[in-house]
Amino acid sequence: MIARARRLDRLHVRVDAARHGLVEALDRRAAVLRAVAASAPPSALSPTDRRALRAAARAAEAAEGAEAREAAENDLVEQRGRLDTDLLPPDLSAELADADARVVVARRVHNDAVRDTRALRGRRMVRVLHLAGTAPWPRYFEIAEVGEGPGPDRFDVAVARDAARVVVLDADDRVLLFEGVDPARPSEAFWFAPGGGIEPGEEAAEAAWRELTEETGMAEGKPGVGELAGPVWVRDVLFDHDGVTYAAREVFFLLHVDPAPDVDVSGFTEQERRTVRRHRWWTRTELAATVDVVYPRQLAELLGDPGSLAPLNPPVPIQ
């Protein structure tokens, strides 16, 4: 029961952090829309709609409390629907699209945290023992998204399959990472852990083993390959791939190997052969010192904290 109480405390912290992140994303979008109202060409926004959009953005920023903010955001999205973003200057259109996408992800992170907290607080013993104390019942944040209402605006974030990734550590605590690129931006490389999408009806751990075997040749039960632990972390991510913006969730598992095996990439798909350049084993010191882009961003810090490598329910949210 003590463990359950601690988990509930972590969930409440997660909800609070997600709420702050959501408010920051909403405030940024409102600020961008105020800038749009001030500088959009007449062809994109009529004078009447310009005034209404500016007023709605200010009302959203000034709203106090979740219910008032929901109502203000819904009004802002309605006013936003009268804006034709195709006629905005490219830099302003891109900034607005980015702000919209971040709201989508932030609201998903928040509502997922609320869902997990409500599920635990709804259990009988949690209610009987009042483990939540005086903490208020968490509520979902429900607003219309851009594109759901009338108007010429269009905003698309494709929701990718959830993914399972594996943090593979050898006996020297080196971690295996792949270097990949976005086909639309081949000059911008980044490093990431093995893994991929979870198929419908597939458990995350099953997907982790399947993807790891396909991408590295490491398989469950092979000599030197340990047991899969986790999930240890969860990451809600917004990313661009081949010109499309995706919102996805990644869960991370931990695997120890001894010795470090040869990595067999013969199972790569055509897309992986096109986008993955190479692989290497990294020490924590190398990760902390590199100027390369590495995902998760705090991987070196996480690997240096034994507590962060312990399987938790729910797993630790990371960036």
Average pLDDT by stretches of 10, the chain with 319 residues: 72 85 92 89 88 92 90 88 85 87 86 81 72 78 64 49 90 94 85 91 91 92 87 80 76 92 90 92 92 87 79 64
State residue 180's pLDDT score: 92
**194 vs 165: CA distance, rounded Å:** 6
| Residue 115, C-beta contacts closer than 8 angstroms, at least 6 positions apart | 140
State residue 316's pLDDT score: 64
The secondary structure of 242-261 as a DSSP string is TTEEEEEEEEEEEEEBSSPP
State residue 152's pLDDT score: 39
Tokens matching residue 57:
């953005």
State residue 150's pLDDT score: 40
State residue 153's pLDDT score: 44
Please, which residues bridge with residue 254 across strands? 167, 229
Measured in Å, how far apart are the chain's first and last C-alpha atoms?
Answer: 30
What are the structural domains, with CATH classification, of the chain? 2-128 (1.20.1440), 158-318 (3.90.79.10)
State residue 134's pLDDT score: 75
